[in-house]
Structure 1
Amino acid sequence: MKQEDLVREVFYRQYQAHFGAVGRDELEPEDFYLTREKDGEVQGLLHAQKILENIHIKALVVAESYQGQGLGSELIRELESVARDKGASSITLSTKSYQAKDFYLKMAYEMYASLDDVPRKGLTKYHFIKRL
């Protein structure tokens, strides 16, 4: 058995034991890529994955020349709409002290944890959630 198959099988059994009859397809991440483009140039991109009733933001990036123009907020609002349509009850994400902590607070995400000196000494990693 390959390593990733072992992980999938163990997690699947755990989900079945905890949630009952859960189809394997429900446990496979569903990827979302939301973009903003102009004249063929990608200005911003949001990548998220849905598993069960949660969507986790993997990445939200806005090209430097387009920052401060509301593209990140647009992408977040679009994801929240997609999440509701898909039956998600929450959106989670992680960010670091040199990234966008204040942005997510402004977007009404709740910080539920922070880890000092992660991913390296002197930095902080923040974990956020928004209940839908």
Structure 2
Amino acid sequence: MKYIMTDNPKEQDVDIVLNNLIKYNISHIEEKEVKPLAIFVNDENENKIGGIIAETHGNWLEISSLWVDEKVRYKKIGSKLLKNVEAEAIIRGCKYSFLDTFSFQARDFYLKLGYKEVFTLENYPITSKRHYFIKQLIKSR
């Protein structure tokens, strides 16, 4: 065997690793369909002033990005985006939501909207923290 370390991997080498991992994972996961989900907010001039990027997979909504332009923050745009993406995820059959945020971003925002912090990476990447959250979208009966 030969181990090769590089800080400039070839795209085809990365694809081999990712595609084989995906193939293996899919063979062990019940729900194979991952569906993208995004909501954008435009101002009166059709400029993007906010958006949320996510995907749904089985019981889970995974939010990868939520952004609101600094000029329009604190006007409930972020809350509306989050509530709307959660509502669509419920329609798609999701019961839970997952996301992460940095300590300099929106930790308190997510806590206020019902997310529970389940894990924190300290000193990430050097002095910040990375917070991981989940939320139960559909309450058990």
User: TM bucket by the smaller chain?
Assistant: 0.7 to 0.9
CA shift for structure 1 position 50 = 1.1
Greater Rg, structure 1 or structure 2?
2
The offset of 1:35, in angstroms, is 1.1
Kept after mapping to 1: 8 A contact 2:103/2:130: yes
Normalised by the size of structure 1, how large is the TM-score? 0.86
Aligned counterparts of 1:84 and 1:33: Cα–Cα separation in 2 = 14
Letter in 1 for 2:51: L
The residue type paired with residue 119 of structure 2 is A
Task: Name 2:12's counterpart in structure 1.
Answer: none
Structure 1 residue aligned with 2:63, among 45, 50, 57? 57
1:30 match: 35
Tell me how far apart the structure 2 counterparts of residues 96 and 28 of structure 1 sit (CA, whole Å): 29
Q: Which of the residues 115, 124, 128 maps onto 1:109?
A: 115
Which 4+ runs in 1 deviate beyond 4 A? none
Alpha-carbon shift at residue 28 of structure 1 (Å): 3.8
What secondary structure is seen at the aligned counterpart in 2 of 1:87?
A: coil
CA distance in 2, matches of 1:121, 1:130: 27
Count the aligned residue pairs. Answer: 122
Q: How do residues 36-75 of structure 1 correspond to structure 2 at under 5 angstroms? A: 36-39=41-44, 40-75=46-81
Higher strand share: 1
**Mind listing any 5+ residue stretches in structure 1 that lack a counterpart?**
16-21
Partner of 2:17: 3
- Provide the aligned C-alpha RMSD in A: 1.4
Q: 1:121 aligns with which of 98, 104, 126?
A: 126
Q: Percent identity?
A: 25
> Any idea what SS the aligned residue of 2:25 has?
helix
Return 26-35 or 87-96, whichever deviates more: 26-35
